[in-house]
Amino acid sequence: MHSLPQRKRIRTVPEGRQPESLTCILTLLGYQNVPYHLRGYADALGAGIEVQENDLILRTSWVKLSRDQRISGHTQAPSHFSPGAGADYYHLGTYKGLLVLPGQADCLPGLSTYPPYQFIGASLDEVMPVGSDLLSKIVRHSFHIGSCLLPWGQSRPAALSPFDKRAAVITATDVVKGIARMTGMDIMPVSGTIGETDTNLVAKAKAAIQAADDYPFVLLHINGADEASHRLSLAEKQSFLRKIDRVLIPRLTDSPHKFTIVSDHSTDPFTGLHDGVFQEAFTGNI
Ligand SMILES: [Zn+2]
């Protein structure tokens, strides 16, 4: 990556916002004033879950709890979970899910939630949603010894302007599929891509190069480094980044297409937290 000819620092986190994929990727794509409450909706769109205009939609994460009920990381979702009356729950793989509260979008302004990746070490009381009795009831109902469900990323449906070029997207991640659907980009299905460190980078590189023959803009999204950092696994992150250097970059360099590699945000493998305001962008084939 560092041998690519052009390097530039780019601001990906707008003033006053948190480093988070949805805001950062839309900022990289040139969108300004990204709506505050969009994340859960983007995930729902990406996962193909139908929602209505007045629904409240939240991202959820299953978290591990220590003996004194502090968050110690993410954990696999249970095979079945029912949130009870007034809400629908959708499992999105590993620790991830979505909650839809039909007709509850009006409670958005008074609602506070706490993204678990920012609250490692916090007690369950500190991350309990504030402003919706139904949500705190769902969290309590989900509690089992050692784990519980935490909702965050509250949102309601909103519209974004279409992206200014014909564009293709290659991703296995719901939030990026949601961005594609909100902005009118075409999603290219690629088998064996799973949004993790064991994703199929060869298939992704091939699909991106093929799409670039046909589209003026291609967004190739690679998620594994973020997930490894959330697991506090420095070795896994380093070996995945080396794999990107070995497998992906040479294929892109050998193609006739100009490309730029940039992170949406950083994720610290020692804390599991998102950080960074500026990112380095590396451009090849200029
Ligand atoms: Zn992340």
Model pLDDT, residue 191: 84
pLDDT of residue 124: 92
Distance CA 175, CA 221 (A): 11
Q: How many angstroms does the Cα of residue 19 sit away from the middle of ligand 1? A: 9
How high is the pLDDT of residue 1? 87
10-residue stretch averages of pLDDT, the chain, 286 residues long: 92 94 97 93 96 96 94 91 96 93 95 91 94 95 92 95 98 95 96 84 96 98 94 95 96 97 96 92 94
Angle between helices 21-28 and 174-183 (to 10 degrees): 40
165-187 burial string, b = 16+ CB within 10 Å, else e?
eebbbbbbbbbbbbbbbbbebeb
Quote the pLDDT of residue 40: 93
How much is the pLDDT for 193? 75
d(CA 112, CA 58): 11
What is the Cα–Cα distance from 107 to 132, expressed in whole angstroms? 7
CA of 102 to the centre of ligand 1 (A): 27
- Phi, psi angles (nearest 5°) of residue 75: -145, 160
- 3-class state of residue 280 by DSSP: strand
CA of 159 to the centre of ligand 1 (A): 24
Quick count: other Cβ atoms within 10 Å of Cβ 192? 12
- For residue 93, the model assigns a pLDDT of 87
pLDDT at residue 123, rounded to an integer: 95
- Spell out the domains of the chain, with CATH numbers in brackets: 6-18+160-284 (3.40.720.10), 39-155 (no CATH)
pTM of the model: 0.89
- Output the CA 229–ligand 1 centroid distance in Å: 8
Run of H or E including 170: strand 167-170
- From the CA of 227, how far away is ligand 1's center (Å)? 6
Reduce the DSSP state of residue 68 to 3 states and report it: coil
Tokens of 56: 């409240």
Ligand 1 centroid, distance to 126 Cα (angstroms)? 21
pLDDT of residue 106: 94
CA 73 to ligand 1 center in whole angstroms: 12
Q: How far is the CA of 286 from the centre of ligand 1 (A)?
A: 30
CA distance 129 to 198: 34
> Could you tell me the distance, in angstroms and rounded to a whole number, from the CA of residue 117 to the centre of ligand 1?
8
